Amino acid sequence: MAPKVSTAQRRLLREFQELTRSPTDGIVAGPISEDNLFKWRCLLEGPPSTIYENGVFEAEMDFPSDYPLSPPKLKFKSQILHPNIYKDGTVCISILHPPGDDPMQYESADERWGPLQSVEKILLSVCSMLAEPNPNSPADVDAAKLWREDRDRFNQIVQAQVLKTLE
């Protein structure tokens, strides 16, 4: 007897098939293994005309068992300095915050996770975040401070990280 396939597994398989059929420039993503649809490997090209341009940044996405009701977690494996990425690589972006009202009242419910979001939308949002950091809501306070106060040094560090992704 075949194992029961959950709603989350069906949805993830459908999203993977769509990404394969209609790839998005600068984004490659899919399950790490065919035995586990809940853990994906992602490769994101740094957005053109930004300091991240030409970088190829590796990340992992972990999906909860109740996906798409709850958002996945996204964590960069490549070293990347950015105000909205924690030092451990975890991405802090509205689209990945749990659905509903923000207890801090910083973001509206429609900016947060909803079941209509998709892997492609998440990764496109992360690419936009790379291009346009929000230093007013930092995950990495040191990176935000450096971005605001010494942009040249911030850019030098990021350029070194971009080169490292190409090794």
Q: How far is C-alpha 161 from the chain's CA centre?
A: 17
**Catalytic one of 80, 81, 92, 144:** 92
Helices (H) and strands (E) in the chain, counts: 4, 4
CATH topology of domain 7-165: Ubiquitin Conjugating Enzyme (3.10.110)
pLDDT of residue 41: 98
pLDDT of residue 4: 65
Does 2 have pLDDT greater than 50?
no
Check if 92 is active-site. Answer: yes
Please, what is the average pLDDT of the chain? Answer: 90
82/102: higher pLDDT:
82
Q: What is the pTM of this model?
A: 0.89
Residues 6+ apart with CB under 8 A from 24: 120, 123, 124
pLDDT of residue 1: 44
Q: What is the mean pLDDT of residues 64-82?
A: 95
Tokens found for residue 26: 């600068």
Q: Residue 110's pLDDT band (boundaries 50, 70, 90)?
A: low
